[in-house]
Each structure stands twice: as C-alpha cells, then as structure tokens.
Amino acid sequence: MEFESVIGLEIHTQLKTQTKMFCSCKIVDSNSPANSSICPVCTAQPGALPKPNEKAVEMAIKIGHALNCSINKFSVFARKNYFYPDLPKGYQISQYELPICENGYIEISNKKIRIKRAHLEEDAGKSLHAIGSEKLEHTLVDFNRCGVPLVEIVSEADMRTPDEAYEYLTELKKLLRWIDVSNCDMEKGELRCDVNVSIREKGTEKFGTKVEIKNLNSFKAVKDALNYEIKRQTEAKLKGENIEHETRLWDASKGITVVMRTKEMANDYRYFPDPDLPPLNIEEEKIENIKKSLGKLPYQIKKEYVLKFGVKEEDIETITSSRYLNSYFEKILSFTSEKETIKNSLNIINTQVLGYINQQKIDEADIETKAPNPKFVFEIAKLLSANEVSSAGAKKLFEEAIKTNESPSILVEKLGLKQTNDLSEIEKFVKEAVELNKKAFEDFKNGNEKATGPIVGYVMKQSKGRANPKIVMDILKKL
Ligand SMILES: [Zn+2]
C-alpha cells in the first residue's frame, strides 16, 4: 500500500499595532516588567467594555487582500470559552461563523494552497512557573500579552508533503512582512504555527483521521515534526492500528511527537457572538482603499520582472523577498532599462551586496541607508555589460568602491582595471602567445578548448589583465 499525507496549517500572527485589540494599552515586549501594560479591559474587570482597534481591523483586511481572500463587509466577534489562568475573562474574543476574510489562496511552486479563512482575535497572557532557573512556589500570571491582536490564518488541507508546508510558511511570512502587518519573528512568538496531518491511501479521496501538532517554534520544527508524524502514522496503519484523533506536542530535543490531549471539538468552546461588541461593518470604499494602499505584491512583481527582463525566478528570489531589498533594486532600475545591465546588477546584488549586508549585520529596515550605494552597483554592472571590466575586476571595483566611497566609473581608470577592447593590441599579444605555445595552439585547433590556458595566460600577463577574454578567444578562433 502506498500512502500520501494531507497537511493543513493554522498560523497565528501578531499584528504590529501600537495598542491592544480591545483597549488602548500599549503593546510591550517580553522584557517589560510583568503587568506593566494592563487595564480593566484586558484584565477583565467587571463592567469593562471592549472596543475594537481600527488599525488591527485594517491590517486584517490587508492580510485578506494579500492572500486573495474575499473580505466580508460584515463580520462578527465571538466568544471562545475555555478556562485557563492566563485568560482572565474565561473566554477569548475571536471570530467564528463570520470571519473578516475567507476563501483565499497562496501560490507555491505553481500550486495553489487555498486559505479557508483569516480572522481577528486577541492573545492570552502568560503563566510564569519559574523566574530564571528558580522554580516558583506558585504560578504567577503576566497579563501584558493579554489582548494583543492576532490574525489566525487557516489553510485548507491542500499540502501533500512537509516541503510544501515549509514553502507555504515561507511564502506567508514573506507576504506578512512585505505588507508590514507583522514582524513574524517566531522566537518572539510573533508567528505561531500548528499543523494538522493525516495520511490516506494514494488515489483515495477520503481524509484519514487527523492529528494536530503544537509547540512548533521554527520552520525546521514544522518540517521535522511532519516527517516524524507521517512516518509514525504510516507504520501504525501498516500494523493495522487506528490513528487517534488527538493533539500532540513536538519534542524537538528527542525528535518525536507525544500525546498532549485527545482533540476537543468546536462545540466544546461554546462559541457565541460577543454581546459586548457590535458586528464589524466595513464600507466597501474602505476595503478598496486598503487594497490600493498595498501596491504591488511580491508574487505580482516576480511575474512582472520575469516577463520584462527575461530573468530566471531564482535570480529574483531575494529582491522580491522583502520590500526593502526590492526598493534597493528598484533604485537601480531608475538608472537603466538595459537587460544585460539589469542581469549583471542582479548578480552583484545576489552575491556581493547580500554578502556585505550579512557580514555587516545590516537590519532589513536599514538597507536604504547602510547598504552599498545602488548607483555603484549599477555602474559596475554597466561596465560589465560593455565588456570594460572583467568579472574579477568587477569584484575588486565593488570592494574598493565601498572602502573609498568613490564612484566605480572613476575607480576603474584609477586602478587600471579597465579592460582593453582594442583589437590590434590584443591581436598582437595573441600572435606572440601562439608563437610561444605552438603545441597548445595545435591542440586547440584539434578541438581541445582547454589547451588555450597558457595562451590566454600570456595575453593576460602582457596586457596586465586588461585584455577582454572574450575578444582573446574570438581572435584565437579566427587564427
Ligand atoms: Zn488593556
């Protein structure tokens, strides 16, 4: 029997608003003193009333647009009831029957992964069982995170391999960062991921019993946990065992999943519309304006570049991965529309510029001010396309330009890196080289391209590295 896996993802992303979802408490990071940003609303004092954060609603609409969802003009906040010490109200405000966004999709490797829904909700607080390494006698609760706005994005079970799940996550994170609604730092809990996975006999339609996995705090953990779980379920099926409908935890140190609880059903949460909050009524015009404000999205830009410049998708992966890198590249496009120069610029960005950014640990948001001058990149790329500098020369120019902050078009002369395209000068050297390396020349004539090494070497030496290798080869072939 051959099996295939069926995978769906639930993502929680923390929105980058200044204040919380239903009160005006500032959002503070985890280093802030416990309970330093709380009020009667987010700690559920009697009589306190929630009021939705308009910015969070706008961000949810942005997310819906980016995920190709339909945005519901009318949506409803619902109470999801459960008891936990870090949830002072005894329920979480979420959206259930009428979410703000529905029926979207993300494209990965030319496959559409459908998005079932994306809805607004609030985060819970944090239980504190220890301070540092010291275990506390009582559990304490920090409500700073209580009421922080989240958007939950639920995919359909359209993924078939752990790799597809990984790709989906990567694409989603890229989009959320691009539209500036979340930083998506998994270590800080700004992006949280639960997966559900089942297996079924290949070729069948019916879903198997699904298992949910929690506690996945990196993309790698998602992939590893899925691989483990698919193997575990396949082995169980082959032994004739039943797969239990349950929630499991990923134990990264042991590389296994362990049972956490048998799955609760939605009706265990007793969802009902929150009587304290009127339904959200959003004007069509507002939805359209938010869409316009988004500008082009990375997947649209990618398609455009491929069409316009004839570049390969993998070459534009990085410059469409973040809006900062993209605006860096767009600056170069403001200097040139020449395809060859654009391709050379991309090459320089993908190797040297990114190398510099990583080495100097430049923050994405600082690319505009701290990355190498895009004009320099353009100038080097142009020299390359005009065959006025060799690729080795171009590398050196880049390094010197950063060091001296001098324009490469001036440096190329100063450093004597300008390649000569002077035919008669190169031809003279080539003829000398052929005289001195008769055997090599014979071999070359007999079809051994590699035999030209000593000939080219001589020409390079005589021209002090300025001879254009392409021209050298052209002359050799002619001879
Ligand atoms: Zn508050």
Instruction: Give the number of other CB atoms < 10 A from CB of residue 42.
Output: 27
pLDDT tens per residue, range 24-76: 999 999 889 999 999 999 999 999 999 999 999 999 999 999 999 999 999 99
Query: What is the rounded average pLDDT of the residues 381-396?
Result: 90
Task: Compute the distance from residue 145 Cα to the ligand 1 centre, in Å.
Answer: 10
8 with 152: CB under 8 angstroms?
Answer: no
What residues form DSSP beta bridges with 149?
A: 122
Query: What is the rounded average pLDDT of the residues 434-453?
Result: 85
pLDDT band at residue 266 using 50, 70 and 90 as cut-offs: low
pLDDT of residue 401: 95
Task: Compute the distance from residue 140 Cα to the ligand 1 centre, in Å.
Answer: 18
Task: Compute the distance from residue 50 Cα to the ligand 1 centre, in Å.
Answer: 9
Task: Compute the distance from residue 154 Cα to the ligand 1 centre, in Å.
Answer: 27
Query: What is the rounded average pLDDT of the residues 11-23?
Result: 97
pLDDT of residue 467: 82
pLDDT tens per residue, range 324-367: 999 999 999 999 999 999 999 999 999 999 999 999 999 988 99
- Computed over every residue of the chain, the mean pLDDT equals 92
Task: Compute the distance from residue 33 Cα to the ligand 1 centre, in Å.
Answer: 15
Tokens of 475: 């002359």
Task: Compute the distance from residue 26 Cα to the ligand 1 centre, in Å.
Answer: 8
Task: Compute the distance from residue 126 Cα to the ligand 1 centre, in Å.
Answer: 15
Task: Compute the distance from residue 54 Cα to the ligand 1 centre, in Å.
Answer: 15
pLDDT tens per residue, range 60-74: 999 999 999 999 999
Task: Compute the distance from residue 146 Cα to the ligand 1 centre, in Å.
Answer: 8
Task: Compute the distance from residue 47 Cα to the ligand 1 centre, in Å.
Answer: 14
Task: Compute the distance from residue 328 Cα to the ligand 1 centre, in Å.
Answer: 39
Classify domain 423-478 at the CATH topology level. Arc Repressor Mutant, subunit A (1.10.10)
Residues of the chain with CATH 1.10.10.410: 423-478
pLDDT tens per residue, range 84-103: 999 999 999 999 999 999 99
Task: Compute the distance from residue 289 Cα to the ligand 1 centre, in Å.
Answer: 29
Task: Compute the distance from residue 52 Cα to the ligand 1 centre, in Å.
Answer: 12
pLDDT of residue 95: 97
pLDDT of residue 464: 76
**Phi, psi for residue 28 in degrees, rounded to 5:** -120, 160
Task: Compute the distance from residue 367 Cα to the ligand 1 centre, in Å.
Answer: 35
Residues 172 and 219: their CA atoms lie apart, in Å, by 12
211 with 229: CB under 8 angstroms?
Answer: yes
